[in-house]
Amino acid sequence: MRPIWLRHPTPTASENRTPVDAVIDPLEQARRGLQMSLSDLWWRYFSIGGMSSELEVEAIMYRALVPSESDRDFLAVALNERFSELGGDHPIPYSGDDETQLE
C-alpha cells in the first residue's frame, strides 16, 4: 500500500483535469514502457555521444529542461536501440523525421 502522502485523490467527473500521462514527454513514456531506469538510459545516451549529465537527462525526461535537438536525438537513438534489442521497431521519431510519414 502506498504511503498516504503519495496517494492522489480520485478526480470527480465535475473536475476538468488533464490526465497525468498527457503531460509526460513521449521520450519518458517510451522509457517507462521499456522499464528502463534513468541511469540505464543515461549510460546508453552517453555511450553513443550524448554529453549531458545524468541529472540533466533526468530533467529533460521530466520536462524541467528543454533538450537541444542533438540531445533529443541521442535520447531517441538510445531508446530506439533498446526497442530494437527487444525485437521492435524504432517508434521514437528523430528531429529530422517528417511527422506525416510517421503516421
Could you read off the pLDDT of 58-101 as tens digits, one per residue? 999 999 999 999 999 999 999 999 999 999 988 899 988 865 44
**What distance in Å separates the CA atoms of residue 71 and residue 61, rounded to the nearest whole number?**
11
Instruction: Provide the residue range defining the domain that includes 37.
Output: 23-85
The total number of structural domains that make up the chain: 1
The reported pTM is: 0.73
Domain assignment present for 64: yes
Summarize the confidence of residues 13-36 as an average pLDDT: 72
In the numeric block, the cell 535537438 is attached to 69
What's the grid cell of residue 103?
503516421
**What distance in Å separates the CA atoms of residue 96 and residue 48, rounded to the nearest whole number?**
18
Q: What are phi and psi of 22, to 5 degrees?
A: -70, -20
Burial 33-55, CB ≥16 within 10 A → b, else e: ebeeeeeebbebbbeeebebeee
